[in-house]
Structure formats: C-alpha cells, structure tokens
Structure 1
Amino acid sequence: MISVRNGNSMKRAKSSWASRMVMLLIVVLILMAGGYGYSTMIEPGLLDITRPVIVVKQLPESLDGLRIVQFSDTHIGEGYSLQQLDELIEKINEERPDLVVFTGDLIDKFRLFTEGRERLPQSLAKIEARLGKFAVYGNHDRGGGASTYYRSCMEEAGFKLLVNESYPIEMPGERRLVISGLDDYLLGQPEEEAVWSSLEEKDYNVVLVHEPDAAAQWKTIHPLDLILAGHSHGGQVQLPFIGPLIVPPLAEKYVEGHYELESASRSRHLYVNRGIGTTRKKVRLGSKPELTVLTLRHTPA
C-alpha cells in the first residue's frame, strides 16, 4: 500500500508541475502579445514632453530663461500622419517658445509620400517662435530624392534651413545668440570649418546637427556652447538593464538626453532628442516619442 500511495503522489506532483508549466507558458505568451501590442500600437502614439534645464555660468543675462523647443525625426508617412503632426504643432505652440529647431528626418520614404507634399509646409508654417525657426538636413532629407523638396518645404514654412552656415540673432548687450547648422554626416557634405570660422568666443553658440556622435570630434572647437541633435530615436526599443537594442550609425555614443561634454574653455552641452516617428518598423518600447522644451539658466531655478 505504501508503494501505491507513493506512486499516486508522484503522478499528482508531475501533473501539478505540468499544469504550472502550462500556466507559465500561457502567461509568457500573454505578456509577449501584450508587449507587442503596446510597442506597435500604443507607445508610438504617446508623447513625452521633456523639460531639461541647461545651467550655464557664463550665460548672458539676455538669454536667461530662453526656451528652445526641439523636435526631430518625424518620419512622416505610413507610421506618422499629417494629422498627428498638426496635433504636435498645437503642443509646440502651447509652449510659447523663443526658438523652435528641427534636427532632421522630416519624411520617412519621400517617393511614397505624394499626397501630402503640398499640405506639409502649410502645417509647419503654423509653428510660432518669437526669435525664429531653424532646421538642418537629416539623412532621410538627403536621400531618396528628398533634398530639393525638403529645402523648399522648410523655407516655405518659415524655417531657416542651415547648411554649413550660421545665423546671428542680436540680443541686448554685447553677446549675440548664434544658431549654426551642419549638413547631414551620412548623405550630405558637412563643412565644419565653414561653421567654426564664423563663430566668435563672445557669443552664445548653438549648433544643430542630425547625427549626435559627430560632436565627439569637437573637443578642441572652443566656441561651442549647446549642440542639439536627433537621429538615434533613443534606439526605438530599450530593455531594462540592457538599454537600446539597435542604434543607427553615428548615434552609438550619444543615444538620448543631456550630456555635458569635455571642453577646454567653457561649459558645453549636448542634447539628443529621441524623435517623434519611427522608421523601418512602427515600434517603440521604452523609448517614447519626445518633444524637448529646453530652458537656459544662468543659475539653478
């Protein structure tokens, strides 16, 4: 009798273990399905409005409290519609920015985006900024035949498209606010010296560039104060304790957020925006679309 009882106990134990394994498998499949649904249908449609404060000791008094709104990598097309862009523009204007900057990759696949080409500059023209709107080329703006359209679109919308050039803004006092932009590093022709030679130590110099890792080579360029970039999408998919699974070329060192960079003579800051849209696959996980509202401060508020 003892052996029969032991046999029955072992059968019940095996059956219980099998049941637990089946339940665990079901839970895992549910989590995977939920994660897939969230990453493809929910998170790509969210918006994280980040509000970094950049503290600069030598900041001119006229720039204390300056608000810069940065958006990037909209990749308009199948994964991001003009209606979504219009909603984003409303949020940008609600921030009442002093400056608005776009750091590249407006349309995802230019040759497939035909119906909205006429309307797109009309939407972007609704963006309001007290001191101006500025943009640079991204790799998607240079590739696929998009280059000429991108220039005309941004200029029609009231953006100053900066291609290896600088644009000074006169401010009260002796120091100017200078916005510079470099051409795309993957498909364009960036001419760094053309920009560096136009910068003056006395000014507050902001540089726009699509690919953030270009800034890693600028340690000896002294008159740079703030660098704004995009391109990375924050990896689009990030996992806890692992980080981004895949990042594009020239966005491997600086992936997202605020970095204080080494500089010989003054504090230098880089901010990498995670972008708005997606490319290749409409998926985001742990890397929400981002609108950056950046404030310059002489001292912490």
Structure 2
Amino acid sequence: MKYLMRIVLAAIALLVFMVRNAFSENLVKKTIKLPTQKKFRPFNLLFIADVHRRIIKAESLNFPIDIIIIGGDLVERGVPLERVANNIKLLSAYAPVYFVWGNNDREVDETSLRKIFDYYGVIVMDDISVPLFGNDQLRLVGLDHFAYKPNGFENAFRDVKKQDTVIFVSHTPFDFWKVKAPYSADLLLAGHTHGGQIRIGPFGMFRKGAIEWKRNRVELISNGFGTTTLHLRLGAPAEFHLLTITHSIDARE
C-alpha cells in the first residue's frame, strides 16, 4: 500500500508538472545576423506560434518589439472570438503584426477572424511578400500552406529578387525543404509540431523545437505557445521567441 501511494503521488506530481509546462511562458532570446547588400537598422522580431486557447498577457511583453509574426494556429474551434480579439489588440499595441494561417485557424469563422485582423491592422500573409521598414531588399514572405494552392510558393516569392534578404514564415516546418532554387530565404520560421509536446527523453512524435544555423540560412521551429486537445507538455515546454535581427554584408549579385 505504501508503494502504491508513492506511485500515485508521483503520478500526480508529474501531471501537475506537465500542466505547468503547458502554461509556462518561456521567452527564448537570440541574436541572428542575416546577409544583406543594403544595411538595415537592427530590429527586434517577436515570433509566436500555436497560441490555440491561451491568453497572451501584457506582462509577458515587457521589452522593445519592432515587428510581430504570428506563425499560425492563433485560434481553434471553441475559442471565443473575443479572446482572439483581445490577444490581437494586445499584440498590435506593441508593433505591426503579420499573420500566416495554421491548420486550426479556419476552424472558426474566417470572415469574422479577418474582420478582427482588419480592425487592428494585422497583415495576413496569403502567399505574398512585403518589404519591412521601407526597405525593398528586406522582405517577409508568408505562405498559406493549408490553403493547398498549387501556385502558393510561386505567388509568395513572385516579388522577391536574388539580392533580397528574406524572412520566410509558414505554419509548418515541412515547407522548409521546398525553399530551394529558384526560391531562397535567410531566416525560416515555423511552429505546428509543438516540439512533440510530450517527450520521453530524446523521443517524441516530432523533433523538439530549436534554432539551427545551417550553411546558408537559419531555421527556427518553435515548440509553440499553446497546446490543443491535450493540455500537457513534457520535455518541450511552451515558448515564444524574441529575435534581434542584425546584418552582415555579403557579396550577392
């Protein structure tokens, strides 16, 4: 009986730990240098993905922000639109907000969601690229992966030139391998996988979120800020990212 009680208490403690992990607010800070021919002023980029049912708190954003990118799954079925509007209102008070669609976002009424975005000036990245800070050679490219458009990549990169410094965002990291000639990007951002969400040591359904410096680009896959269905985390705590983006001069033609 004594050992059974210990097992029960250990199970309860683990469950509480997993719930706390699911609702934690881990801010990951990194400085990233991107190659460019045209210098730009360093800026702070807040990347947050997979909010799902969570409420974003003002006290979690007590630092300078120049641009905010929402990497999809801001919402899911059953989440009140009022909560979404409050999250967007809070974020848009800090900096311009850009959004890509995730697989759960269209579980709510898309028209109503777009009205919220329009009201708060959120730019929806529907297979488009936009210049940042008035610099035509510094571009954000957003892909609406879950619209399943055969020409999505072509439209997204249509206005991108070879010499441009490119930040690419899609909800799913499974698009990263597609960003190759004739397309290219210097920083790639995604969420979707929740870092496996529940991991046993090194093992999980998906790879744990990470920032990886590769030969010619940087790839960030976030564990995500929220959860869906099972609001537990183990080995892949909730996170969002503050990236200080600066430049290094390269010899692009």
TM-score, normalisation: structure 1: 0.73
- Which structure is higher in strand share? 2
* CA distance in 1 between partners of 2:183 and 2:125 (Å): 20
Please say if 1:256 is aligned against 2:209. Answer: yes
* CA distance in 1 between partners of 2:244 and 2:37 (Å): 12
% identical aligned pairs: 22
Which letter maps to 1:243? F
Question: Which residue in the other structure is 1:230 paired with?
Answer: 191
Please say if 1:62 is aligned against 2:40. Answer: yes
* CA distance in 1 between partners of 2:239 and 2:49 (Å): 8
Distance 1:95 1:176, change over 3 A: farther
What do the CA deviations read for 1:191-247 (whole angstroms, capped 9, x no partner)?
Answer: 10112221112222111100011111223245411111111111111222x332x24
* CA distance in 1 between partners of 2:187 and 2:50 (Å): 19
Aligned partners of 1:140 and 1:146 also within 8 Å: no
Aligned to 2:81, the other structure's residue is in SS state: coil
1:210 corresponds, among 148, 166, 171, to 171
What do the CA deviations read for 1:32-74 (whole angstroms, capped 9, x no partner)?
Answer: 221122213x2222111001222334474324x3210011111
Distance 1:37 1:91, change over 3 A: closer
The CA deviation at 1:260 is 3.1
1:133 corresponds, among 97, 103, 115, to 97
Distance 1:45 1:294, change over 3 A: same
Aligned partners of 2:210 and 2:220 also within 8 Å: yes
Higher relative contact order (CA 8 A, sep 6+): 2
* CA distance in 2 between partners of 1:286 and 1:91 (Å): 22
Distance 1:238 1:136, change over 3 A: same
Runs of 4+ displaced beyond 4 Å: 22-26
Where does structure 2 lack aligned partners over 5 or more consecutive residues? 249-253
Higher Rg of the two aligned structures: 1
TM-score, normalisation: structure 2: 0.85
The equivalences for 1:95-110 within 5 A come to 95-109=63-77
- Which structure is higher in helix share? 1
Distance 1:121 1:145, change over 3 A: closer
- What RMSD over aligned residues (CA atoms) do the two structures have, in Å? 2.5
Where does structure 1 lack aligned partners over 5 or more consecutive residues? 1-21, 248-253
Aligned partners of 1:200 and 1:223 also within 8 Å: no
Distance 1:274 1:221, change over 3 A: farther
Please say if 1:75 is aligned against 2:24. Answer: no
Please say if 1:181 is aligned against 2:145. Answer: no
